[in-house]
Structure formats: structure tokens, C-alpha cells
Homo-oligomer: A and B are copies of this chain.
Amino acid sequence: MELLDQTRLPTEEVYLRLDSAAEVAEAIRVMRIRGAPALGIAAAMGVALELARAARGPAADLAATFGEARALLLSTRPTGHNLAWALERMGRRFRACGGERPAAVVAALTAEATLIAEEDRLACRRIGEFGLELLPGEGATVYTHCNAGALATGGIGTAVAPIYLARERGIPVRVIVGETRPLLQGARLTAWELGRAGLDVTLVVDSAAGALMKEGRVNLVITGADRIAANGDAANKIGTYGLAVLARHHGIPFYVAAPLSTIDPATPSGADIPIEERYGAEVRCGFGRVTAPADVAVANPAFDVTPAELVTAIVTDRGILRPPYGAAIAEALEP
């Protein structure tokens, strides 16, 4: 598979070729690819690539290969759900192959991975259509955080999808994006992709959000999600929870946008979502320069959880879910 190395943006557009589950796992760990839906697609592709590798060799034990690739990919990042969801789906397809020839198994699992990507592309578009209804007419200013755009998905993004659709339909919309420390996905990725699409984007430091809301410069906040629990609690990039509290304080709607594959019915509430703690070096020396004492302790949770009661609505590819989320989610997930 070909992959745009997101750690090099916005200054360089470098494409990498990945040929094994190990290479995909490494790309996920160091965040050359990130964003919950994109991680689901990448993990599925990683499994398919690894099975194809094994099938090319002698005496392939595809079941063992599948199990190892699955475990490796599953171990990369714990918080997002789409990755586990996609691997689970690949597992079902693998088991359904029964005793078929290796070439047929590889073809089936490659097709499944491709289908996951294609379905995500469509889900993004549907999220965009539903989300568009939430924009309060012309000239709305949307605040978003991190990157829940094209770079995070197989399509036009989740949180950003309504913005792309507004642009497509000639509805003026402004975007304010927080830079999203420590890894600056807002500055490096969202500002980059929205700017390329010709959108009106303003970049701010994350801590400016409150002042902008107080001045009436934000009409709504919309973010993606890495995992949504059965009760509607949503894990997303660190800082999302603070935005939700600020939005509530200022009477501004706070929306979460995600495909159903981000919802984990087996996670009862946000308290059950494991939060990835990343390296202190991401905070201590972020920009090619040491920006803190080398020996200072760092807390670097990559995500936080926004409780359902702060979420105005969840925009999914099956429609807009409103509180109470427990029932709305259960209904949306019915086959």
C-alpha cells in the first residue's frame, strides 16, 4: 500500500510504500498515518498485505499469519475503536474462508480491506450530508480540533466533511482550527488540507479557544472521535474535553462526528476507554528544538473523554444521534 507520510506535512509530501503488517504497524505507531477511520483501513490493509506475503512463500500457515498480524496491529494504539473493529471484521471474513486455497483467501481479505476503505469513503460523505444540516446558515464559523479530515479517513473526513460539502455547494463557511499540541495535527494537517481546498481557515493555539468563544467568534464546535462508548461518551484527541466544557459554558453546540465503526457497544462508558499515554519527548522537544528542561516530568495523554452530557449531537453515517445516546446508539447499531 502507498501512504502519505503525515509526520512530514505540511513541508514535504512524501509517499511511502508499505509491504507488510510490521511496516504498517510501525507507520501507525509513529503516526505516519493516524485518525481512527484511517487506522481501521490501514490495519485491514496490513493484514491483507501480510497474508499475500505469506501466500507467496512455501507452506504458508495463513491462520498463524493472520493471528500474528492481527495481534501486532492491535497492539499499536489502544484508544481508537476502528482499528479493532476492522481487524474483527477481517477475522470474520478470514474464518468464513474456511479451507480455501491461499490465493483465494488473500483475494477475499484484500477485497474486504478494500471494501472497508470504500465504505468509509461513503460514510464520510453521509456524515457530511447529515452534518450540513447543523451549520447555522451562511457564514457560520466552525471550530475544530486535531484532524478529522480527509487525512484521517478514507474520504472527506468526519468533523470536516460538512465543511467540504458546504464548500462544494457554495455555502460560505469559516473554520478555526486549534493547532493541537503536541503533534500539531490541526496546524500541520487540517490547516493544510482545508487550505488546499480553498477554504477560509484561521489557525490558533489551542488555549485561544475560550477567548474566541467569549467574543462570539465561534458558532459551533465539531470534532471527530476515536472511540464512542455505548452511552455516548466520546474519546478524542487531548483537548477535546476542554472544548466541550467551554462550548457548554458559552451556550455553543458541541458536535461529535464519526462513522458507526467508531462506536464500540462493548465499551459501556468513557471510564472503560483506555487512554494512550505517549512519549514525554513529544512535549519536551516538539519542533526540532528542545523547548523544556530535559529532565522535567511530562504527562502526555494522547486523548481525553468527553462525557455524553456535553455532546449536543453525534453525527454518524446513519444520521444524527441525539440524547439519550444509549438508546439512539443501540438503535443505530441494529443490523
Q: Which residues of A contact B (CB under 8 A)?
A: 10-11, 176, 178-182, 184, 187-188, 191-192, 195, 200-212, 214, 238-239, 241-242, 245-246, 248-249, 280, 283-284, 286-293, 295-301, 304-305
Contacts and interface: CB of A to CB of B under 8 A. Distances in A.
A56 to B, nearest CB: 41
A211 B179 contact: no
- Specify which of A188, A203, A238 lies most central, judged by the most chain B CB atoms within 10 Å of its CB: A203
Contacts of A293: 10, 191-192, 195
Contacts of A298: 202-204
14 contacts: A10-B293, A11-B289, A181-B207, A188-B291, A191-B293, A191-B296, A195-B296, A202-B299, A204-B298, A204-B300, A205-B238, A211-B304, A245-B245, A288-B288
Nearest to A237: B207
Nearest to A297: B202
Nearest to A307: B214
Contacts of A241: 210-211, 214
A245 B210 contact: yes
**Nearest 6 pairs between A and B by C-beta?**
A207-B239, A210-B242, A211-B304, A287-B287, A187-B292, A181-B205
A296 B201 contact: yes
B283 A187 contact: yes
A242 B246 contact: yes
Contacts of A288: 287-289
B245 A292 contact: no
A293 B209 CA distance: 20
Contacts of A297: 200-203
A231 B301 CA distance: 38
A195 B284 CA distance: 14
A287 B284 contact: no
A11 to B, nearest CB: 5
A295 B10 CA distance: 11
A212 B304 CA distance: 9
B238 A283 contact: no
Contacts of A248: 249
Contacts of A211: 238, 241-242, 301, 304-305
B238 A208 contact: yes
Nearest to A298: B203
A304 B212 CA distance: 9
